[in-house]
A and B are shown apart, each in its own frame.
Chain A
């Protein structure tokens, strides 16, 4: 099929097209069948609903924060309440949205299909993983309802262990349980990718999305348990005063931070790596070209995961670590930026001499490339000791991590959802509205967070709800941006819901993409493939796709 217009979207004739009668959604009916399913695709959809719900909860907290910060005075909420707002915003967004976002939804749905398997290695553990997420989330909700927690999402000691009487233990318990959800997802992915690839699907024929999730899964399995023991110790410290973080009993509060950040730094790579995997897929499809430097991108995903374990104390430069260890961690932080940069260069070269089209997933990918680069570079600034002393605990940090997490990860998540939505539900969303949402969220995002770099540089501290009057203009810009950003995220909610009933039928391969998931029906069968595929083509092999499509066209009567 030739691309006659400036889009590669190729939908079947809507007058005759129908959703396939047998698919994973129609296989069984009733809520119970969904709640007891082993089907990775159904579990992915359960996750999608849950994380969307918590995304909006986290978003509401963000809205309240920005509303308070419209004026220099503390006039909307009391200071304790403001502390609770940013704490809950962080906890919900990090643990209940960002960490599971791509792996638990798109990853769960697609990884088995992409490697030619019928399901993940351990379907029951996959379902358990979702239930653990829900239980963890319930505890965090309970902490909110019982009055909130105000330690910041980082639970720093001795504040969290000795100086607060808020709901630290329920919140910590919720994060602990949600952490095990993450561990089991990662465990499942690792075993599946090692042991369940279809015949011919060697490591270097796999889509790069699978490589990225594999790297993130290693981090999930090795890093999250340290968070678990850290939160356990915080709970024990609060309840029975074991003294492990209490200076008056001989403990060291900084020990908490070492253990906490040992997980939480790899956690940011858990969050971003799957997003990078999405970008590889989208970049290739909408440039009609294989990803440049496949091996480099694959190995750099693993390198990011490995190096990510060596840099955690860059979150602690001003907390009392020794100068020598600060030097070591600063140097290693510079190194960890290299594999990320390699990937950005490779994506850029993927586009070079490709046939680029600007559908919604590609728009989000462009946003990702630019915004992640800004976020990543500002991370390098923060990794250098001298700059960090000035910029840490200011809005510069807030802007940095929102650029990588929202400008990077969330844009990648949106790219992924918009790219694979037709595969998940069999229908397309309205392209004009989706493009509008993409542009709106890009504008809103930059308006919200670019001023915060300046605010941080000028010295406005983070986690403060009042500030000197001279910072107000930038704060007002930021809040205005947040409103626009919010619209950009509400729109997809509306049109995706609309598309479930009224969207155009997508067919197997609306984007004319390579990859095993595009060779099967949309939505897929429960067992994914009618026969086990045997793979001989490379990843992103557009010649193979063209030959196959032509062969199908000439042989269908």
Chain B
């Protein structure tokens, strides 16, 4: 009773049913197994990213409740048109990335390269806008630290027409807490931007390979799995935008 049966004959018969891709790794029995394992592995990595950003989101949740007036006032300093544009830009970039996966699956090389390029360009636009936002914070002395200026929160500018302050004035104590908002703003958007930069770097590596035809001959895993990463970074921004920019925008 030998239960460790030879499987060599059947393995050879199986191989006749499909052509092995050059990227087939031989510890996998079939390319489907390799592909499914790759996607599964990528999702497990994304789980670690959920938990990584999760810590920051919790800190945000806590301090937004503890220092709500400061968070409201500080959030109103952020530029809604720029933030909304950036959200739309990133969603568009994700749309192109999804199309890129389709292009790889249906083996359309030129379309793949075009969509990858568009995804990259929109990603760079996002980063460019963020640069301008950060620069504006620098100019207004809203970077936490020794040079932080709370005067705008203690004495908000008055609306020219109505004469009322644009924001509720904050006590100096609560005004200092706007630094907590800005610290979290820079930490969270900074961490997000770092992930975008890494993503753009990976895209710049994928595009020449796509041009060479590496991903339009049946082997789509790098495009598929990178797309998962890119969409995840998009999801983080989908949460960051309303939480950071849209805390309390109703008219005073």
The answer to whether A and B belong to the same complex is yes
Is B26 part of the contact surface with A, judged by Cβ < 8 Å? Answer: yes
List the A side residues contacting B177 at CB < 8 Å. Answer: 250
Which of B94-102, B111-119, B179-187, B228-236 interfaces with chain A?
B179-187
Find residues 528-554 in chain A having any chain B CB closer than 8 Å to their own CB. 531-537, 544, 547-548, 551
Would A196 and B41 be within 8 Å (CB), given that A221-B48, A243-B179, A250-B63 are in contact? Answer: no
List the B side residues contacting A125 at CB < 8 Å. Answer: 41
Judge whether A537 and B3 touch: CB under 8 Å.
yes
Distance A118 CA – B25 CA, assembled complex (angstroms): 11
| Min CB–CB distance A313 → chain B (angstroms) | 14
| Min CB–CB distance A116 → chain B (angstroms) | 9
- Please tell me the number of chain A residues within 8 Å of chain B, measured between CB atoms: 52
Which of A186-194, A454-462, A500-508 interfaces with chain B?
A186-194
Judge whether B27 and A123 touch: CB under 8 Å.
yes
Distance A199 CA – B41 CA, assembled complex (angstroms): 21
Judge whether B187 and A236 touch: CB under 8 Å.
yes
Judge whether A534 and B41 touch: CB under 8 Å.
no
List the B side residues contacting A118 at CB < 8 Å. Answer: 26-27
| Min CB–CB distance B83 → chain A (angstroms) | 21
Judge whether B144 and A242 touch: CB under 8 Å.
yes
Would A250 and B37 be within 8 Å (CB), given that A531-B6, A551-B2 are in contact? Answer: no
Judge whether A224 and B48 touch: CB under 8 Å.
yes
Judge whether B1 and A259 touch: CB under 8 Å.
no
Label chain A's interface by main secondary structure: helix
Judge whether B47 and A221 touch: CB under 8 Å.
yes
Question: How many contacts between A and B, using CB within 8 angstroms?
Answer: 131
Judge whether A544 and B51 touch: CB under 8 Å.
no
Which of A225-233, A277-285, A314-322 interfaces with chain B?
A225-233
Question: Residue among A118, A120, A123 with the most chain B CB within 10 A?
Answer: A118
- Please tell me the number of chain B residues within 8 Å of chain A, measured between CB atoms: 47
Name the contact of A249 in the complex, choosing from B33, B40, B176 (C-beta under 8 A): B176
Is B56 part of the contact surface with A, judged by Cβ < 8 Å? Answer: yes
**A188 to chain B: closest residue by CB:** B41
Distance A519 CA – B4 CA, assembled complex (angstroms): 9
| Min CB–CB distance A321 → chain B (angstroms) | 13
| Min CB–CB distance B137 → chain A (angstroms) | 14
Is A223 part of the contact surface with B, judged by Cβ < 8 Å? Answer: yes
| Min CB–CB distance B204 → chain A (angstroms) | 21
Is B54 part of the contact surface with A, judged by Cβ < 8 Å? Answer: yes
Residues of A within 8 A of B (CB): 112, 117-123, 125, 183, 187-188, 190-191, 194-196, 199, 221-226, 228-230, 233, 236, 240-244, 249-252, 255, 259, 519, 531-537, 544, 547-548, 551
Q: List 6 A-B contacts (CB under 8 A).
A: A191-B44, A196-B27, A196-B37, A225-B54, A242-B183, A243-B180
